[in-house]
Structure 1
Amino acid sequence: MFGLIISLIVIGLIAGAIARLVVPGKQDLSIPMTIVIGIIGSFVGGFLGYLIFHKDGQDGFIQPSGIIGSVLGAILVLLIWLRVGARSSIRG
């Protein structure tokens, strides 16, 4: 269980960092927020992968396709986060 939590944090950090590098513009996010976006992106990527391909992660936790899905999910989550954050800063 402890190894799973550490793996989620590491994969979340990697996926979140890659998403921040790919998305243009300035993001004022801390390292813990980058990890959170990466972890949420992992769940989003896994869910979308299941919807598209109808397969789940029974072959193991860390797979190349899972990491790619995590990065794509993190990019999607980051873009939504930036869009929602831009709207809330205009109103405030």
Structure 2
Amino acid sequence: MNWLNELKVAYLNKNDSKLNELLDNTPILKTRDEMFEALAVMEQITEYAKAQKEKLGLEMRKLKQTKKFFPQQENAQRLNISF
């Protein structure tokens, strides 16, 4: 399988490690059609990477909010209120 087809398969499977490997080893493309096709796939990969970055940022914000909540919860459990 050639590099461009491997790149497409890795993108469709959302295989981040394979995408990184292929992008790190980008060959010299010989034809104009290959160049335009590779450019189109790379634009899609860029959009995918941006979406993953946004998703990760959202998850990190959620974790920070959760982290702020738990110490308050623990302090409330430590109170020994007896009647």
TM-score of Structure 1 vs Structure 2, range by shorter chain:
0.3 to 0.5
Higher relative contact order (CA 8 A, sep 6+): 1
User: TM-score, structure 1 length as denominator?
Assistant: 0.36
TM superposition score normalised by structure 2:
0.40
